[in-house]
């Protein structure tokens, strides 16, 4: 019954995403690139945190690895900077593979630790990777970073050149437009994969792990193996997100992947609603776009002091509004943005779609089994 409206909504959304570049200005195109890149990262993180119940504050570290591997793979070698000169597609695959591999190497730590312990151990990764990026100059360019070659596919370049001029329906498709479509395809692919993975055997095993490792082990789920798998998949997603961020920037430096980025990924999936792929996407849109749009249009707000006058200037206001928005979502919206929209469309009542596996309760509680149980029972009571 609810399938048809949903298909129509999906189709409309997709058509809008395809048509948007024809009308948008550069600001919005650039914003869209950042949003789509972070969407992929957030979806990967929600598989790990929301579905498999393992907290990670190290997502930016894996994104950094993906980004630098991509740039290394696709750049020509120079006297001071190593490069492999591989085709861009190979670079993208390598970025995902190496990030996933590092996730695999880190997974013994992950399988020993749980919840908040794991989260804070991964926090250390961000600082460790930053240290390496700064010190491995021959590969990373140190603090200067290195420039990113445009993405090319069989002679077609996703930049302002090759072909120099390309227009659709009278609108010239420049580098940003071309990248938009590349990002759109990759984002749809990544999200489609994630949604499938979530309802697959692996996804259900992850959810069991999240709810109780002991019970999962009793049911014959290989705890260590599935935990490692969650880490590998999520790191691979982070790697892809990192490579796309590199393309969106056009230049890479260690400052692009700070702890703030890791934390922002976490904000996205919590605000969106843990464990929901759509929620992660909406969360990414919220966290990436809101501060920028607020900044861009905050001059329109009344009663603003001039910058530097010590009063409440637009920039400070936009930052405060962003903080308030986070708090408001968490205090007022059960299940985050995804939960709210589900209630709004009344889709929860027409359950049955595999999306509606019970939402995770709490991934972040080692010593707080008690707290878990209370919120869990609330959940089932609903």
Partner 1 sequence: MSYFLTQVLNGLSFGLVLSLIAAGFAIVFTSTGVLNFAHGSVVLLGAYLVAVTHPTIGFWAAVLVGVVGAAVVGVLVNALLVRNLADPNPGTAAILMLGVDILLLTELTRRIGNRVLPLGAPWGADVVRFGGIALPAGRVLAAGVAVVVFAGLWFLFARTRLGIGMRAAAADGPTASLMGIRLSRTGATGWALAGVLAALAGVFLTSFPSPGVAPPVALSAFLAIPAWVLGGFDSVPGAVLGGLVIGLVTALTVGYESELHVLGGGFGEVVPYLVMIVVLLVRPQGLLGSKEAVRV
Partner 2 sequence: MRKTRPALVAAAACVFAVTACSTTEPEAAGGGGSGDVETGNGVTDSAITVGVLTDLSGPFAAGAAVQVTEFQAYWDQVNADGGICDRDVEMQVQDHAYDPQKAVSLYRSMSSDIVALQQVLGGPTSAAVLPLAQQESVYVGGVGWASTALQYENNQLPGASYSIQGANAIDYLVDELGLSEGDSVGVVYFVGDYGSDALAGAEHAAAERGLTIVPQEITPAVTDLSAQASALVQEGVQAVVLGAAPAQLASLVGVLSSQGADVPVIGMNPTFNPALLDTPAAEALLANTYSITSVAPYASDAPGVQEANALYTEADPDGALGWEVPLAYGQAQLLRTALEDACEAGDLTPEGVVAALGNASDVDTDGVFPDGLDYTQVGESPTRTVFVSKVSDTAEAGLELLDTYEGPSAQSYTFG
Pick the binder of partner 2 from 313, 372, 376, 379 (CB under 8 A).
313
CA 154 to chain centre: 28
> Is position 131 an interface residue for partner 1 (rule: CB under 8 A)?
yes
Site string for partner 2, 220-259 (x = CB under 8 A): ----------------------------xxxx-x-xx---
Distance, in Å, from the CA atom of 219 to the CA atom of 197, rounded to the nearest integer, reads: 20
Of residues 12 and 330, the one with the C-beta less far from partner 1: 330
Of residues 56 and 187, the one with the C-beta less far from partner 1: 56
Of residues 174 and 216, the one with the C-beta less far from partner 2: 174
Cβ(55)–Cβ(119) below 8 Å: yes
Give the residue ranges of DSSP H helices in 298-347: 314-332, 336-345
Cβ(254)–Cβ(143) below 8 Å: yes
Q: Which does 324 bind (CB under 5 to 8 A by kind): partner 2, partner 1, none?
A: partner 1
Of residues 319 and 368, the one with the C-beta less far from partner 2: 319
Helix, strand and coil in the chain, % to nearest 5: 70, 5, 25
Distance, in Å, from the CA atom of 252 to the CA atom of 245, rounded to the nearest integer, reads: 9
Pick the binder of partner 2 from 30, 157, 357, 362 (CB under 8 A).
30
Distance, in Å, from the CA atom of 194 to the CA atom of 188, rounded to the nearest integer, reads: 10
Structure-token match 């700070």, residue found = 258
**Binding segment (CB under 8 A) for partner 2, from list 18-26, 65-73, 108-116, 226-234:** 18-26
How distant, in Å, are the alpha carbons of 106, 296, 318, 355 from that of 300? 48, 9, 11, 40
Residue from 60, 65, 77, 82 nearest 141 by CA: 82
Pick the binder of partner 2 from 105, 128, 153, 167 (CB under 8 A).
167
As given in the structure block, the two tokens for residue 294 are 């607020």
Interface residue list for partner 2 (CB under 8 A): 6-7, 10-11, 14-15, 18, 25-27, 29-31, 34, 134, 142-145, 147, 160, 163-170, 176, 181, 185, 188, 192, 195-196, 199, 248-251, 253, 255-256, 288, 291-292, 295-296, 307-309, 313-316, 318-319, 353-355
Interface residue list for partner 1 (CB under 8 A): 49, 55, 109, 112-117, 119-121, 123-124, 127-128, 130-132, 134-135, 213-214, 217, 223, 259, 263, 266-267, 270-271, 274, 310, 312, 316, 319-320, 322-327, 330-336, 361-375
């Amino acid at each position: 019954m609810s399938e048809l409206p949903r298909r129509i909504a999906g189709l409309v959304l997709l058509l809008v995403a395809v048509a948007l570049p024809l009308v948008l200005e550069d600001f919005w195109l650039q914003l869209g690139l950042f949003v789509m890149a972070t969407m992929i990262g957030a979806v990967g993180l929600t598989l790990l945190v929301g579905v498999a119940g393992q907290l990670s504050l190290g997502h930016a570290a894996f994104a950094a690895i993906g980004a630098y591997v991509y740039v290394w793979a696709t750049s020509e070698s120079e006297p001071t900077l190593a490069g492999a000169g591989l085709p861009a597609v190979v670079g993208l695959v390598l970025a995902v593979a190496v990030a996933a591999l590092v996730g695999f190497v880190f997974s013994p730590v992950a399988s020993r630790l749980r919840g908040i312990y794991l989260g804070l151990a991964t926090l250390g990764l961000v600082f460790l990777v930053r240290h390496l990026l700064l010190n491995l100059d021959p590969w990373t360019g140190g603090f200067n970073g290195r420039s990113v070659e445009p993405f090319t596919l069989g002679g077609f370049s996703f930049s302002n050149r090759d072909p120099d001029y390309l227009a659709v329906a009278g609108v010239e498709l420049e580098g940003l437009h071309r990248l938009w479509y590349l990002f759109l395809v990759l984002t749809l692919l990544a999200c489609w994969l994630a949604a499938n993975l979530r309802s697959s055997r692996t996804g259900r095993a992850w959810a069991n792990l999240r709810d109780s490792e002991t019970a999962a082990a009793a049911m014959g789920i290989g705890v260590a193996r599935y935990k490692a798998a969650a880490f590998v998949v999520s790191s691979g997603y982070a790697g892809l997100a990192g490579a796309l961020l590199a393309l969106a920037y056009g230049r890479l430096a260690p400052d692009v992947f700070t702890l703030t980025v890791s934390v922002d990924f976490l904000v996205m999936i919590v605000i969106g609603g843990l464990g929901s792929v759509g929620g992660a996407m909406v969360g990414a849109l919220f966290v990436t776009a809101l501060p920028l749009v607020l900044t861009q249009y905050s001059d329109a707000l009344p009663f603003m002091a001039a910058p530097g006058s010590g009063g409440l200037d637009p920039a400070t206001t936009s930052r405060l509004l962003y903080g308030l928005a986070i708090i408001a979502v968490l205090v007022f919206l059960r299940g985050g943005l995804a939960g709210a929209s589900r209630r709004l469309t009344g889709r929860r009542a027409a359950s049955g779609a595999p999306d509606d596996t019970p939402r995770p309760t709490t991934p972040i509680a080692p010593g707080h089994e008690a707290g878990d149980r209370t919120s869990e029972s609330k959940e089932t009571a609903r």
